[in-house]
Amino acid sequence: MQLTPSSSKLNPWLVIAFIVIPVFIGSLDLTIVSAFLPELIVELQLPLQTSLDDTSWILSGYLLAYTVSLTFSGRLSDLIGRRAVYIACLLIFIVGSLWVAVAQGLPSQWVYRLLRMAGERPDPAVVDLISIIIGRVIQALGAGALVPVSMALVSDMFPPEQRAQPLGLIGALDTLGWVLGHLYGGLLLQVRVPFSFAQMIGQRVVPLADAPHLATLPWQALFWVNIPLSLIALGMVVWGLRHVPQIRREGRFDWLGTTLLVGALIVLNISLGANIEVGGASSFDEMSSLPPYAIPGLGLAVALFVAFVLVEQRVKDPLINLAMFRRRNFLSGAIANLFIGFVLMIGLIAVPILVNVRQEDVSDLRGAALSVGLLLSTLTVPMAIAAIPGGWLSMRWGYRLTTAIGLLISMVGFVLVWQTWTLTISDFHISWQMAIVGIGIGLTFSPISASVINSADSQDRGVASALVLVLRLVGMTVSVSALTTYSLREVNRLAEIALGTNSALADPFLYANTYATIVVEVLGTLGLFGALVCVVALVPTYFMQGKGEAQHG
């Protein structure tokens, strides 16, 4: 049953506007921590030898919990209703935000007591860090779950032929949020407020030298601001969803299948050492490198996934109905979505590295971060906007043609990157090329999401919505690991040719211009890879069919 004018006085698009606010806030918080990690290391007085690895779990823990919650929240919403799950997840996100904002107070005391009970004598700084990480995990469990439940709500409120636009919009805003998170956080922490107010919401606040009565917002403000915004959104969502029919599926929750799938995804992410927060990367070796346990870890991930498939074939109420993959639109859309995640990450890798290798004043971190954020927005903002016409075209031209057009447009943008990127290329040229890539990718969000979700039965829409997001994240995770591993090797190979010596023995500062030229050359090669992957993605796209009607064959 869909929401119609006769069943509600609210326009479904107004309900969607309420729903996407927490989705966007939660996705912002994925990468927002990069704005304050250096400050946190200094504030907690963590040892430099381990601080970067330890504090990275503030991001990595969020990413893992975000991915984990994607896997099972859709099924929960199928079983007990979208509204209840959405509200519960939003409350979890609010609790997590509050926990992080006050992490160095009562939560740290709880953690300290637990560690003491376990016989540990923890360092207070380490206790504070653990407390912050716990709060971030709680946040992510709520934020990640909101996205597939929101997409499933769209499927409940709109008939199949009208789902493409809102589905694509939610997916695009989710991606846009975590790409812009570091820029949003950096700008918010530049706001000047009365010193007394800053002391109320944060610890170790330092007054400004030129205005002692003022201070910049402490990092805790990034999480305090979530609470009123989320509470307002909660009220609007409760009111807006009061007439939305609650579809529930009979059956039990598949705990064993969920455990196996969650384990496979966690092991995959850890084994690849992937980090999709790329805003501050200045070189490939800061992006991702395969850890020494990568091969056995990947083997374990494959084993867990095979076990998951075997379990799903035998249980009465599986987490994922594998029969959905026999449907043409579901399978072809799922495969195409993996490729979309892969090529999206190419743009997100290339821009920050190009900006940073061209940076003349290496001490101007704020200037570099602003340039990266602005240039990344030329990729992500057009991508989000293009999701709307992508849905409109899907309803008129069909899933196949709309997705193919998007892939071809992105291919053109990547070819331009391959052919034109040099160390002296202007920001203007980077911007319009990234806009072409972003428009192409954005056009695919709506048809791919609709193709997958409309292929599922009504009782499986939550799971189908989750799979759209999980597969895109898997594509991005594989992309950042594979491409940075390749790029590191290629940069070293070209450096040895250019310098006539072992690049490991060469001083990178002495040959800075040579290294910068080589890095940009490798970035151009990534553009070629992006174009080729777009062409390959046309193969599964060819098998997509329909314009919006439900497809179960």
Pair (246, 369) in one structural domain: no
Tell me if 305 is assigned to some domain: no
Pair (7, 142) in one structural domain: yes
Burial class (CB in 10 A: 0-12, 13-18, 19+), 57: middle
- Residues for the chain: how many in total? 553
Tell me if 295 is assigned to some domain: no
Domain tally, the chain: 2
Question: What pLDDT shows up at residue 6?
Answer: 38
The domain boundary, picked from 230, 250, 270, lies at 250
**CB under 8 Å, gap of 24 or more: what pairs does 99-103 form?**
99/131, 99/134, 99/135, 99/138, 99/139, 100/132, 100/135, 100/136, 100/139, 100/220, 100/223, 101/201, 101/220, 101/223, 101/224, 101/227, 102/220, 103/128, 103/131, 103/132, 103/134, 103/135
Tell me if 257 is assigned to some domain: no
Buried b (16+ CB within 10 A) or exposed e, 411-446: bebbbbbbeebeeebeeeebbebbbbbbbbbbbbbb
CATH code for the domain of 78: 1.20.1250.20
Supply the DSSP string of 243-312, one letter for each residue.
TS------S---HHHHHHHHHHHHHHHHHHT-----TT--SGGGT----TTHHHHHHHHHHHHHHHHHHH
Tell me if 296 is assigned to some domain: no
Q: Please, what sign has the CA dihedral across residues 37, 38, 43, 44?
A: positive
The domain boundary, picked from 234, 250, 266, lies at 250
Closest CA to 97 of 201, 217, 241: 201
Tell me if 470 is assigned to some domain: yes
Tell me if 273 is assigned to some domain: no
Pair (241, 329) in one structural domain: no
Question: What pLDDT shows up at residue 401?
Answer: 94
Pair (98, 198) in one structural domain: yes
Tell me if 287 is assigned to some domain: no
Pair (337, 197) in one structural domain: no
In angstroms, the Cα distances linking 371 to 278, 279, 367, 414 are 13, 10, 6, 21
Burial class (CB in 10 A: 0-12, 13-18, 19+), 16: buried
pTM of the model: 0.79
CA–CA separation, 399 and 163 (whole Å): 12
pLDDT in tens, the chain (553 residues): 444 433 445 677 888 888 888 888 888 887 787 667 767 777 777 665 555 566 777 877 888 888 888 888 888 888 888 888 889 999 999 999 999 999 888 988 898 888 888 887 878 888 888 899 999 999 999 998 888 888 888 777 888 777 777 877 887 788 778 777 777 887 888 888 888 888 888 777 778 877 888 888 888 888 999 999 899 988 888 887 777 667 677 778 889 988 998 898 888 878 876 555 555 454 555 555 567 777 888 899 999 999 999 998 888 888 888 888 888 899 999 999 999 989 988 888 888 788 777 765 545 455 555 677 778 888 888 888 888 888 888 888 889 999 999 999 999 999 999 999 888 888 899 999 999 999 999 999 889 988 888 888 777 777 888 888 888 888 887 887 788 778 878 877 887 777 665 555 455 555 667 778 888 888 889 999 999 999 999 999 999 987 755 555 5
